[in-house]
Structure 1
Amino acid sequence: MVFVLYGNIMATHTRLVYICAQEMGLVGTPAFELRNVDWSEILYPKDGFDYDKSPFKRIPWFEDTENGVRLFESRAIVKYMAMKINSPPIPRYDDPVDVANFEVACSLELGDFTTYTKMLLYELVHGSMAHQKPTDEHLAKSYRETLTRNFEGYERILSKQRYLAGDKLSVVDLFHIPSALWLAMVGGIPALGEGTLPFTKSDGSDGTLPIPKSADRTWPLPQTADGTLPFPHLREWWNSLMELESVRKVNGQFIEIMQNMRGPHRAEGHGEEEAK
Structure 2
Amino acid sequence: MAIKLYGPMVSTCAVRVMTCLHEKLVEYSLHPVDLLAGEHRQPAFLSKNPFGLAPVLEDGDLTLFESRAITGYLAEKYKDKGYDLIRHQNPKEAAFVKVWIEVESHHFNPLIHPIIYHYFVSPLLGKTPDQSIIDANVAQLGKVLDVYDTRLSSNKYLAGDFYSLADLHHLPYTHYLMKTPYADLIQSRPHVRAWWENVSSRPTFAKVSTNMKFE
Normalising by structure 2, we get a TM-score of 0.89
Gaps of 5+ in 2: none
Aligned to 2:74: 81
Q: What secondary structure sits across from 2:127 in the alignment? A: coil
- Residue 136 of structure 1: how far off its partner (Å): 2.6
CA offsets 1:155-207 (integer angstroms, 9 cap, x no match):
111111111111110122111111221121123231335xxxxxxxxxxxxxx
Aligned to 1:197: none
Gaps of 5+ in 1: 194-229, 259-263, 266-276
Identity of aligned residues (%): 27
- Residue 96 of structure 1: how far off its partner (Å): 3.4
Name the count of aligned residue pairs: 211
Matched residue type, 2:73: Y
2:127 is the counterpart of 1:133: yes
Aligned positions of 1:31-50 closer than 5 A: 31-39=27-35, 40=37, 42-43=39-40, 46=42, 48-49=43-44
1:124 to 119, 122, 133: 119
- Residue 132 of structure 1: how far off its partner (Å): 3.4
Aligned to 1:183: 177
- Residue 14 of structure 1: how far off its partner (Å): 0.8
Normalising by structure 1, we get a TM-score of 0.70
Equivalent residues of 1:124, 1:188 under 8 A apart = no
2:192 is the counterpart of 1:234: yes
More helix by share: 2
Aligned to 2:9: 9
CA offsets 1:197-226 (integer angstroms, 9 cap, x no match):
xxxxxxxxxxxxxxxxxxxxxxxxxxxxxx
- Residue 9 of structure 1: how far off its partner (Å): 0.5
2:202 to 228, 238, 244: 244
2:98 is the counterpart of 1:103: yes
Aligned to 1:216: none
- Residue 43 of structure 1: how far off its partner (Å): 4.8
Cα root mean square deviation, aligned: 2.0
Aligned to 1:25: 25
CA distance in 2 between counterparts of 1:145 and 1:170 reads: 27
Equivalent residues of 1:14, 1:60 under 8 A apart = yes
Aligned to 1:166: 160
Aligned to 2:148: 154
CA distance in 1 between counterparts of 2:13 and 2:76 reads: 19
Matched residue type, 2:68: R
CA distance in 2 between counterparts of 1:191 and 1:122 reads: 17
CA distance in 2 between counterparts of 1:49 and 1:124 reads: 30
CA distance in 1 between counterparts of 2:44 and 2:208 reads: 29
CA distance in 2 between counterparts of 1:191 and 1:168 reads: 23
2:46 to 35, 42, 51: 51
Q: What secondary structure sits across from 2:154 in the alignment? A: coil
Which segment is superposed worse, 161-170 or 78-87?
A: 78-87
Aligned to 1:60: 55
Equivalent residues of 2:57, 2:63 under 8 A apart = yes
Name segments (4+ residues, structure 1) moved above 6 Å. Answer: none
Aligned to 1:208: none
2:86 is the counterpart of 1:90: yes
